[in-house]
Amino acid sequence: MQKINKLLVVIEPELMESLALKRAKQIAEKTKAALHLLICDKEDKHAALLSVLENALRAEGVTASSERSWHESKHQTIIRAQQAENCGLVIKQHIPDNPLKKLLLTPEDWKLLRYCPAPVLLAKCATDWDNGVVLTAVDVGNDDADHMELHKSIVDAGFEIASLVKGKLHVVSAYPAPMLAAVEAAYPIETEYEAIYRKACEGFQKQYDIDGSRLHVEEGPADVIIPRVADELHAAVTVMGTVARTGFSGALIGNTAEVVIDKLKSDILVLKPEEMTRHLEKLASKH
């Protein structure tokens, strides 16, 4: 977070209060990052608003720039701006989709999480992060190289945020119920899953001095366990990863980060493996 020099902040003119801008200002205060404000709009209706916001930020000592643009869709417009401005983090307020619409169309926030090369922070609550709980969600049952790298990035980011805001770092990992685990055949049916998952978290615990009370290893689906633990801890932000599955398999399997967006009450920071980031940057450069 401290290494990020510029934040892309998506401004939604129809909202009374911009949680994305509020969170971006809080991050900028601590990291001295510049803010680039973006309104995704086909018509140039909001130039005055951008000018007002930009001038207000500068008056507060924040380095700021802004633009209004449109390229095919909202998520593509955001990605174009992120690439052009070399922003290390995209901050956008999450507005829940209509459940019926979600069945028929992939929500724009899901597409942003799948295709944006940079980490995405979805702002959901107005609560300040200072002295709050930073919850990192890791799937330590997946031990392939991409997931292992992702686990480290997630806990690294969580530790960095917790250090910045003087917060408490917690780790959550959900393990499958025996019936589900049996079909996965990753471990024998008699395996003590909780013990295996806790052991897999030992490295994080030692590196970041996380005691047992701040490690939450529970049986059940991740999309149920993560929001419940976040709720119990009153987490300010939940840090997760996505392997950004797309296409038919993605629709069938579902990415946990996407599924929990509407369930989590905290802000959500979503990261991707480095190889996927490079692939998405190549894709973005072709447009």
Q: Which CATH number fits domain 133-285: 2.40.50.140, 3.40.50.620, 1.10.260.40, 3.40.50.12370?
A: 3.40.50.12370
Are 87 and 233 spatial neighbours (Cβ–Cβ below 8 Å)?
Answer: no
> On the CB side of 238, how many CA atoms lie within 13 Å of its CA?
33
Q: What is the per-residue pLDDT for 248?
A: 42
Cβ count near 137 (within 10 Å) = 30
State the pLDDT at residue 253: 39
Residue 179 pLDDT exceeds 70: no
Rounded to two decimals, what is the model's pTM? 0.88
Interval 23-73: pLDDT, tens: 999 999 999 999 999 999 887 788 888 999 999 999 999 999 999 999 989
Share of the chain above pLDDT 90, in %: 50
Report pLDDT for 194.
Answer: 84
Average pLDDT of the segment spanning 257-278: 86
Which contacts of 190-198 are long-range, i.e. CB under 8 A and separated by 24 or more positions? Answer: 193/219, 194/219, 197/140, 197/141, 197/173
CA–CA gap between residue 136 and residue 266 (Å, rounded): 12
Q: Do domains 6-93 and 133-285 have the same CATH topology?
A: yes
Q: What is the pLDDT of residues 102-113, one digit of tens each?
A: 555 678 888 898
d(CA 97, CA 132): 28
* pLDDT tens per residue across span 89-137: 999 999 876 666 555 567 888 889 888 999 999 999 888 899 999 999 9
Is pLDDT at 251 greater than 80 in this prediction? no
At 44 the three-state DSSP class reads coil
Superfamily of domain 6-93, CATH level 4: HUPs (3.40.50.620)
Sketch the domain layout of the chain as residue ranges.
Answer: 6-93, 133-285
Query: What pLDDT is stored for residue 249 in this prediction?
Result: 41
| pLDDT of res. 2 | 57
